[in-house]
Amino acid sequence: MDARVATAFAPMADSTATIAPHRLTHLERLEAESIQIMREVVAECERPVMLYSIGKDSAVMLHLAAKAFYPSKPPFPLLHVDTTWKFRAMYEMRERMARELGFELLVHQNPEALARGINPFDHGSALHTDIWKTEGLKQALDQYGFDAAFGGGRRDEEKSRAKERVLSFRTPEHRWDPKNQRPELWRLYNTRKRPGESFRAFPISNWTELDIWQYIYLQNIPIVPLYFAAERPVVERDGTLIMVDDDRFPLREGETPQLKSVRFRTLGCYPLTGAIESTASTLPQIIQEMLLTTTSERQGRVIDHDQSASMEKKKQEGYF
């Protein structure tokens, strides 16, 4: 038994484990389903990996993985496809979680992107994302020979994801063919594949943003502090508040970072992630703000703005 697993997630009150057995709540049903999916993939695939983005969905995924295989450690490594442009607080969180949970942590940085110094300021968000993330992910999956990769994608995030399967079949070139996905009935997942083919597995497909927050709250799951409001140095660009997280940030003429009470609804590369002005510094306050707010979650992500079907295009190219 691994004591580290237990200490990292010492839940204050684990309602999902002890609630009256006669009536499962929606979160209990979702949790059980996610765990069932994780176990199924681990039992049937040869070399699974969990993609770790360090965000709140990833935090829930780690927690579910710890539950699914306890008292064993989750029998797969974590893979962080790094762009070198994440928030510093995210790197700190990554190291802490890997240490406390005893996961094997793999970090991949696309060597080509590193050599060319790809960054969102000089190359634009689309190229930056494509080379660091899309290409980087393919490289890492090929390099380690993973045949199944767990991701934290949810069907409520974006319209084209509503039709994504729990197990998303990918060709040896990592392409996703919307016409050639396998039907998923009951709790039965078909994981059979030929050498080179792989799956992306989305155990939290049926969770919504509210479910994620509520679960984090109930299970006391550690998340990056950036989700909570604090005074942070930001500049406003094209109507979006961008945090100046390190000295690589090229300030424009006359631009001075302002200290504002902000927080982030999603986390990614800091130059591409919009902050919102907020004073919500506790989980209930965050949830309150989210429920009363009128813009959807992904609006904070700059990459989605191009056109309404852009996520779908990225997915066909192999982006998660």
Partner 1 sequence: MALTDTVAPAKAGAHQSDLIAQDIEAYLHAHEHKSLLRFLTCGSVDDGKSTLIGRLLYDSKMIFEDQLAALEADSKKVGTQGGDIDFALLVDGLAAEREQGITIDVAYRFFSTDKRKFIVADTPGHEQYTRNMVTGASTADAAIILIDARKGVLTQTRRHSYLVRLLGIRHVILAVNKMDLVDWSHETFDAILADYRAFADQIGLQGFHAIPLSALKGDNITAPSPNTPWYAGPALMPLLETLEVEDDLQEKPFRMPVQWVNRPNLDFRGFSGLVASGTIVPGDKVKVLPSGRESTVQRIVTLSGDLPRAAAGQSVTLTLADEIDVSRGDVLAAAGDPPEVADQFESTIVWFDEEAMLPGRPYLVKLGARIVGAQITEPKYKVNVNTLEHLAAKRLELNEIGVCNLSLDAPVAFDPYADNKDLGGFILIDRLSNRTVGAGMLHFALRRSQNIHWQALDVNKSARAALKGQKGRVVWLTGLSGSGKSTIANLVEKRLHADGRHTYILDGDNVRHGLNKDLGFTDEDRVENIRRVAEVAKLMVDAGLIVLVSFISPFRAERRLARDLLEDGEFIEVFVDTPLEVAEQRDVKGLYKKARAGQLKNFTGVDSPYEAPEHPEIRIDTTAMTPAEAAEQIVAWLDGDQGDYSI
| Footprint (CB under 8 A) of partner 1, residues 188-247 | 188, 190, 192-194, 205-206, 208, 210-211, 214, 217-218
Residues in 158-187 at the binding interface with partner 1, rule: CB under 8 A: 159-160, 162-163, 178, 182-187
Residues in 65-94 at the binding interface with partner 1, rule: CB under 8 A: 66-73
CB of 14 to partner 1, least distance (A): 4
CA 294/CA 277 separation, integer angstroms:
14
Helix locations, 133-269, DSSP H: 136-144, 209-219
Comparison of 131 and 275: residue with beta carbon closer to partner 1: 275
CA 205/CA 202 separation, integer angstroms:
5
Task: Give every strand in the sheet of 198-201, ordered side by side.
Answer: 105-109, 78-82, 48-51, 148-150, 198-201, 167-170
Among residues 109, 126, 285, 317, the one that binds partner 1 under rule CB under 8 A: 285
Residues in 286-315 at the binding interface with partner 1, rule: CB under 8 A: 287-288, 291-296, 299, 308-309, 312
The interface region with partner 1, picked from 100-108, 155-163, 225-233, 250-258 by CB under 8 A, is 155-163
CB of 114 to partner 1, least distance (A): 34
Could you tell me the sign of the dihedral formed by the alpha carbons of 36, 38, 41, 43, in that order?
negative
Q: Does 18 bind partner 1 (CB under 8 A)?
A: yes
CB 113 within 8 A of CB 271: no
Number of DSSP helices (H) and strands (E) in the chain, helices first: 11, 10
CB 3 within 8 A of CB 57: no
The interface region with partner 1, picked from 34-42, 50-58, 111-119, 254-262 by CB under 8 A, is 34-42
Radius of gyration of the chain, Cα coordinates, nearest whole angstrom:
19
Comparison of 208 and 258: residue with beta carbon closer to partner 1: 208
Comparison of 110 and 160: residue with beta carbon closer to partner 1: 160
